[in-house]
Structure 1
């Protein structure tokens, strides 16, 4: 990748020139799809052209040598062993890979939460509806709360299930060992809240509960991840959200102690090895080999990690990026709350990294929440040319704003104007039965 020759400007609107945004677009929803810097797009396009120059040679002979340094670099970035990280398209794909590789028994339990991402919660439901029908246990996680209260409630939930499982285990005569698998958010999507996931993993390990950490928002947002120290059983994070890689791109972490549980990626590749096959003569990590090529895809997205990390170094490094985005999320959220006259979901900031959640000036519910949600999104995106995530939580409408290096406090002030106007239109539509247009 060829980095810009000039030093980076101050963080804020001056950095917009390095991204492909439309001139009048205010992006406060980086957390949904990420945003690719122009230098990363250019480097990715160059990689694609190189691949296309002789695609057979690249795919058949040189793909591993290009993936290896990118994979090793990401392993170091998250504090994992180089043979414990593989690439997958996105976090949902990685978590499905884990959950659908586990061998389920009747009586097994999957823990989800009220904040579990929609498709992941549905995946757990899908697994429970297939024989042998493991059950799903929902952990109620509602804000406002505190980290201490959350951990205490989670411990009680896990302990209760563990006691139940022990009783069920004693009644089994066929020797099958029952298990609990907990799906844990590192940073929940809606609300955008930084959870004490490392402590939750520790609680699970005390009760021999397997942990699958949905860290979709972690890489590039959460500092000091250090997976070797946190020791989750499985962990997956998107690199196209906060790291500036090209979508789709994610990493799946499976420590060596658990790699025997992952028999096959999806789809199953040529490199799949049956447990019945001898492995003593196989060189290297079979786990990595299996995920090296699962079908014909554009590998330039995975390789974009290299240019994304180079771009972040040019900006000044992880600490500088983290400090700016976190500070702006706190100050921007406070300003948005003042202008809307509504509360912050996390007034102390203990759950806040680079995403902040503020209440909307709306009645607690509307006659049709799905229509209201679409109306608000259309009003923001098409009427005001601003993006932010709106959602319902604990009986109230909220907005989630993502702070990124190109944002300034004025973006939050503009969002406040857009939200006031949009919410007023909702009130007119439902309370006064007045037809409104965007």
Structure 2
């Protein structure tokens, strides 16, 4: 594969690489003036993986047909095997889609709802907006066949409270003479960035005969998922480009064999789709791609259309890079969770506020931390200037401080969500606390009104 596979810096087993700015400057592609405190939104990848991706892109341009038709499927299978091993599930259950939202769409658009109109989709209050809108679309498109229902969450709370609220919602649906057909929930929610007890909710779904759709947009590479096969959700999708150091966009889509028959089509429909013969007038559709002998599910997702799937081919090497350079998944996750917790405390101290967590500390068991902002939430809400305040904070962070922090309102409080990552240090969080303090003081003085 040329020079691009020889530039992988192999660490000495006795000397694990030190996380922080030296790693950032030597391995990543950031502008020296920029502090990336928002890894959770778009992720990033190291120089070695960038070179590998470009190598695959160059191969595709050198010989398009041989590469796309024959080489690419082989490389794709290697990446599928690597991610399946990481999740401890069979390779035949894993394919790739561009992002978690695509995986959620694929499931919701394939489910055949019962004709009696009693089906419901349950989701939690912290659902990602894109997924919530997908649920809305499915309800609208299948008007009269399926409804949706939101399960409330009052943070901070114990994991058991979330499961209890889920059970109560299921009971309410059944009392109304309806059924919960599918439940959609996170591994780590987006805003706030909270570790969700997806294992326990999946178990509750099994108990009630409900299909579980786990949105792990924030998941693989950030929290331990080697037990996915034991948890055994009905559907699971997780972005590799967020926390696994894979280029955008790439997400693993896991469907156990028992449910692969439910996924009739990719989104959009690929050459692998086979309609019932009676619906095609007896015509047999021609697949222009080489026969591969793979099952219907895997074959369908192998080639959905002509797009740049180079990120998919980088998954195997990204996992290897994390093992050989960063010291492996366990070390990465432990260090990031520790950094997020300690960093969150530093930001909260600077702001004179608090970190969002529960007594057991399970809410903060991820690489993101949520810190309350010292802003007069009720006054801002009453004035109707919330959108202007948020826009001012984000634009000021980017233009004046060369950084970005997710800022949002949740349950009547303004919050900032910061991400830990191997290229950061606690000093970055201390700095961020000072920056956020200055900006909040400027908001209170009304400077956002002058900028609008």
- Is 1:13 the counterpart of 2:26? The answer is no
Equivalent of 2:418 in 373, 397, 401 = 401
Cα deviation for residue 143 of structure 1 reads 1.2
Would the aligned equivalents of 1:428 and 1:436 in 2 still touch at CA under 8 Å? no
- Is 1:265 the counterpart of 2:278? The answer is no
CA spacing shift, 1:225–1:155, aligned 2, 3 Å? farther
Of 282-291 and 333-342, more deviation after overlay is shown by 282-291
Would the aligned equivalents of 1:34 and 1:242 in 2 still touch at CA under 8 Å? yes
Paired position in structure 2 for 1:360: 373
1:395-437 deviation digits (Å, cap 9, x = unpaired): 110011111111111101111111112112211227xx96359
Does the residue aligned with 2:242 lie in a helix, a strand or coil?
A: coil
Paired position in structure 1 for 2:356: 345
- Is 1:95 the counterpart of 2:104? The answer is yes
CA spacing shift, 1:276–1:79, aligned 2, 3 Å? farther
Would the aligned equivalents of 2:173 and 2:180 in 1 still touch at CA under 8 Å? no
1:249-301 deviation digits (Å, cap 9, x = unpaired): 0011110000110000011112211245899x994311000001010011211
Paired position in structure 2 for 1:389: 406
2: CA distance, partners of 1:161 / 1:434: 46
Cα deviation for residue 211 of structure 1 reads 0.8
Cα deviation for residue 100 of structure 1 reads 0.3
Does the residue aligned with 1:289 lie in a helix, a strand or coil?
A: helix
1: CA distance, partners of 2:265 / 2:142: 20
Which segments of 5 or more consecutive residues in structure 2 lack a partner in the other structure?
A: 285-290
- Is 1:435 the counterpart of 2:450? The answer is yes
Does the residue aligned with 1:193 lie in a helix, a strand or coil?
A: coil
Over the aligned positions, Cα root-mean-square deviation in angstroms equals 2.1
Of 321-330 and 367-376, more deviation after overlay is shown by 367-376
Paired position in structure 1 for 2:228: 227
Paired position in structure 1 for 2:252: 251
1: CA distance, partners of 2:88 / 2:171: 30
2: CA distance, partners of 1:232 / 1:163: 26
Paired position in structure 1 for 2:390: 373
Paired position in structure 2 for 1:50: 59
Number of aligned residues: 423
CA spacing shift, 1:256–1:5, aligned 2, 3 Å? closer
1: CA distance, partners of 2:297 / 2:166: 32
Of 363-372 and 11-20, more deviation after overlay is shown by 363-372
Does the residue aligned with 1:211 lie in a helix, a strand or coil?
A: strand
- Is 1:4 the counterpart of 2:9? The answer is yes
Would the aligned equivalents of 1:162 and 1:207 in 2 still touch at CA under 8 Å? no
CA spacing shift, 1:340–1:50, aligned 2, 3 Å? same
Alignment of 1:207-222 (within 5 A): 207-222=208-223
Paired position in structure 1 for 2:194: 193
Paired position in structure 1 for 2:151: 139
Paired position in structure 2 for 1:174: none
CA spacing shift, 1:325–1:294, aligned 2, 3 Å? same
Paired position in structure 2 for 1:237: 238
Cα deviation for residue 108 of structure 1 reads 1.0
Paired position in structure 2 for 1:126: 137
2: CA distance, partners of 1:409 / 1:247: 27
Does the residue aligned with 2:370 lie in a helix, a strand or coil?
A: strand
Would the aligned equivalents of 2:292 and 2:299 in 1 still touch at CA under 8 Å? no
Cα deviation for residue 6 of structure 1 reads 6.2
1:167-186 deviation digits (Å, cap 9, x = unpaired): 34xxxxxxxxx652100111
Would the aligned equivalents of 2:369 and 2:417 in 1 still touch at CA under 8 Å? yes
Equivalent of 2:76 in 49, 67, 79 = 67
Which segments of 5 or more consecutive residues in structure 1 lack a partner in the other structure?
A: 169-177
Paired position in structure 1 for 2:160: 148
Cα deviation for residue 225 of structure 1 reads 3.7
Q: Normalization by structure 2: what TM-score?
A: 0.89
- Is 1:293 the counterpart of 2:303? The answer is yes
1: CA distance, partners of 2:148 / 2:385: 28
2: CA distance, partners of 1:328 / 1:288: 38
Does the residue aligned with 1:25 lie in a helix, a strand or coil?
A: coil
Does the residue aligned with 1:240 lie in a helix, a strand or coil?
A: helix
